[in-house]
C-alpha cells in the first residue's frame, strides 16, 4: 500500500450501489480515503460540506436531475486542478473529457481504476 494515498480523498459517485461499494472497498484497501454518494444531489452536498476532496470518480448517467457532468463541473469549480475519472457504459459519452480527466468504460476493471488514480493524483516519484 502506498502511504501517500492516505493524504488524498476521493468522492465516488455511482447510483449502482454494488459498483459503488466495490469501488469504495478497492480504493480504501489501496489506502485512499473515500466519500461516497448515490446521486448527483448528494454529491453536490458533500462537495459543499467537505472541501478536502482531491479527486472524483463519477458515473456520467445518474438518477435524478444532476448527472455526472454537473457533479464534475461543481468539483472543478471548487478544485480547478482536481482529477476526474468518468465512468459509463456508453463510450460515446467519452468525447466531453476535460484536461486532467480520464474516461473508463463499464464494466470497470479495478486494477485500471487504481492505476488511473495513482497516475492522476499522486505526485511523481522523486
**β-strand partners of 83:** 55
Residue 40 to residue 44: CA distance in whole angstroms? 6
126 within domain boundaries: no
Question: Could you tell me if residue 65 is inside a domain?
Answer: yes
Strand partners, 105: 88
C-alpha grid cell, residue 55: 479527486
Q: What is the pTM of this model?
A: 0.92
Cα(110)–Cα(3) distance, integer angstroms: 19
Tally of structural domains, the chain: 1
Q: What is the CATH number of the domain that holds 51?
A: 3.40.50.2300
Q: Can you say how many angstroms the Cα of residue 68 is from the centroid of all Cα atoms in its chain?
A: 10
- Decide if 112 is inside a domain: yes
According to DSSP, the β-strands at 55-59 and 83-88 are parallel
**CA 109 → CA 43, 50, 106, distances in Å?**
23, 28, 8
* pLDDT tens-place values along the chain, 126 residues long: 567 888 999 999 999 999 999 999 999 999 999 999 999 999 999 999 987 899 999 999 999 999 999 999 999 999 998 999 999 888 776 656 666 788 888 898 999 999 999 999 988 765
Amino acid at each position: 500500500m502506498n502511504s501517500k494515498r492516505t493524504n488524498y480523498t476521493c468522492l465516488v459517485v455511482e447510483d449502482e450501489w454494488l459498483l459503488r461499494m466495490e469501488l469504495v472497498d478497492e480504493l480504501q484497501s489501496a489506502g485512499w480515503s473515500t466519500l461516497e454518494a448515490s446521486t448527483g444531489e448528494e454529491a453536490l452536498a458533500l462537495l459543499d460540506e467537505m472541501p478536502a476532496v482531491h479527486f472524483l470518480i463519477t458515473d456520467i448517467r445518474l438518477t435524478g436531475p444532476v448527472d455526472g457532468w454537473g457533479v464534475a463541473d461543481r468539483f472543478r469549480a471548487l478544485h480547478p486542478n482536481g482529477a476526474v475519472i468518468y465512468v459509463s457504459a456508453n463510450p460515446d459519452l467519452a468525447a466531453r473529457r476535460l484536461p486532467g480527466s480520464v474516461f473508463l468504460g463499464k464494466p470497470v476493471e479495478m486494477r485500471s481504476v487504481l492505476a488511473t488514480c495513482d497516475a492522476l493524483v499522486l505526485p511523481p516519484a522523486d
